[in-house]
Amino acid sequence: MAALALLLGSAGSVVPAAAGADAGPGAPGYPGEAADWSPGDKDGFGTAIGALDSKVWYTLNDGVLSEVYAPRIDTPGSRDTEFVVTDGATFTERESEATEHRVELVDARALVYRQVNTATSGRYRITKTYTTDPARSAVLVDVRFESLDGRPYQVHVLHDVGLGLNANDDTGRSAGGGLLATDGRQSSAVLVPGGFTRTSSGYLGRSDGWTDLNSDHVLDDLYAAAADPGNVVQTGQTALTGVGDAQHLTLALGFGTTEDEAAATAGAALAGGFDAALAGYRDGWHRYLDGLAPVPASAQRWRTEYEVSAMVIAASEDKTFRGGFVASPGKPWAWANELQHFPVYHEVWSRDLYQHATALIAMGDTAAAERALDHLWTIQQRSDGSFPQNARLDGEAVFGGLQLDEVAFPIVLSHQLGRTGPADWAHVRLSADFLVATGPRTEQERWENLAGYSPATIAAEIAGLVTAADIARANGDQARSDTYLATADQWQRDLGRYTVTTNGPLSPDPYYLRITDNGDADTGVEIQIADGGPRVDQRRVLDPSFLDAVRLGVVDAADPAVATTLALIDDELGYDTANGRFWHRSSFDGYGEKADGSQWESVEPGTRETIGRGWPLLTGERGEYELAAGVDAQERLDTMARSADDSSFFLAEQVWDDQPPSAPGSAFVPGEPTFSATPLSWSHAGFIRLARAIDAGRPIDTPELVACRYGTSLCRQ
């Protein structure tokens, strides 16, 4: 019997249904309203760890199931899935809009999240607990719908399909009491035990189920959207009423290449049961955490934040392209709409992958760090030794920039892992040769929107060349080793001329700049700050990123220019909150929400319409510097932990500054997460690494060779 001809009876048995039966006539309004995407500040995220046959990741946002990624973590399999409640006569409302949302981490040692949505009217409560099936590519949702006033209601599933990067090319139909969709490359199925009692597939804003229900409170326009690809939204009426025995069901979202395969996957997940899947899912995470190094003493107070950080990093790895870790499972702000066919944050950056890998080493998962390096060498590295600015998991470049720190960091990681043999040397040689031929000026620094001479980037290049020289020597290439060292030494000597101004307007003492366009820090060349920023004298632009030069062993922590710059940065970029101290990433930064708290979007230069806020990862980097300087950094770790979301324990890309859109006590609280990318794996990696560094009493990823070559305080020889 074909998979489409099977559905689950209410007792869990498999019963036949009419295979391929459509809900009704073709849906009007093709192709529907253009797709956008769910916000990128997630409050739930999970996947079955170590379960390579379960190629699916779920995310949560504002009370609903937001993007599900399948079969790769850089590829959406849906936009969102939520419930619509009606009494069939007087009201119809979406849980995303009509309820107060609460999120709970069900198990502190597993990425199991629960959403509790209570209607603002007091009529009902929806409780949803999420897991992915460790045995297959399916998300299972345990749903409890309670009527709080004793009245029966009708409950519908509203599923915005959104397969792949283009959510405007899907078809959808009903079969066997389930909802099936495809874009011709991947497919999805939404099933419940016993099947939906009514189903419809239509086009967003034209013929979808919400449009129908909102008009007359009854799902009676039953369509199929099987002929013309568009922005398809599917609706299924459940047997839930909220009273008596009709308060509970399990929802399954299954994925596959074909509709048949997706339906079989969802059906098998339902047959296996939510409880069994959840037990296997939790056991997998418990085993994973048990296999890591013990939680550092510095993080004992923050054990949940630490273990969630470890799990977020581990969950960000793809299960097909092993070692490929994405930056964040979502698209923040208007990136979602302006570049809706691009993965944006759910892709691989060489720099972020270095951050992930150093955290993986710190937390005791060296095998995953090894896979990350393998991914960098075999998938990301180009034939000339360079790396794309960012890329999909298969290596396809997304944005077109070139950042030389992303060329250098894989070399440093290779040395840290002891990967110095002939196979790795072949890759190291390509990248080191590229640095010698191309550096030290970079097309983009680590904030990705300025070209020139960046202290952070040059420090990475120097560290890359010094470690490459050691690998070259071990492989019998003394000539290259000499060239790498001579180049690194020259750049280290010139770092001050490139990036330290002696006549800048901010201090009579020398201080580091974010970047110089011309490699002469004493000239007042004007640079254009991105994201609506001004055109300004380069000597007025500060950035805490220069501290990478200390962490990587290139500059001593006690260098006078370092101290001067830190004082300036504290004055111009730092701010205090109830959670602790944070720093903006740069002078005049506009990469963040607008003044009223609305989303970031691309704006014209000089408008200053958007405002960058503080980055928790900079607090972590400040802590690593303080350890290098012999100062206790526990408060920096505590600050990062306090900035985590109180429900999900996720660390965001940014937190509100001391001039939030509205008064303290509102939704915009200084030191609490903004609507930026959440969770950001780089932030979590910084937390892990700082915790381990505090216990060690020094930064833990400093290349010893570099620190000793330049005689900095981090040299232990």
* Tally of CB atoms within 10 A around 343: 26
- Report, as residue numbers or ranges, the catalytic residues: 445, 448
Place of tokens 């939404």: 190
Q: How far apart are CA 227 and CA 62, in angstroms?
A: 33
Q: Of 190, 324, 158, 165, which Cα lies nearest the Cα of 256? A: 190
Beta strands in 401-462 (DSSP E): none
| Helix 422-438 vs helix 455-474: crossing angle, to nearest 10 | 140
Q: Answer whether 655's CB lies under 8 Å from 678's CB.
A: no
187-191 vs 511-512, strand pairing mode: unpaired
Q: How far apart are CA 95 and CA 247, in angstroms?
A: 16
Phi and psi at 578, nearest 5°, equal -65, -25
Point out which residues pair with 80 in neighbouring strands.
Answer: 160
Place of tokens 């020139």: 452
Q: How far apart are CA 362 and CA 366, in angstroms?
A: 8
What's the N-to-C CA distance of the chain in angstroms? Answer: 71
* Tally of CB atoms within 10 A around 641: 23
- Encoded amino acid at 245, one letter: D
Q: What stretches of 509-613 show up as alpha helix (H) in DSSP?
A: 548-551, 560-572
DSSP-based three-state secondary structure for 317: strand
Q: Is 314 exposed, middle or buried (0-12, 13-18, 19+ CB in 10 A)?
A: buried
Q: Answer whether 289's CB lies under 8 Å from 274's CB.
A: no
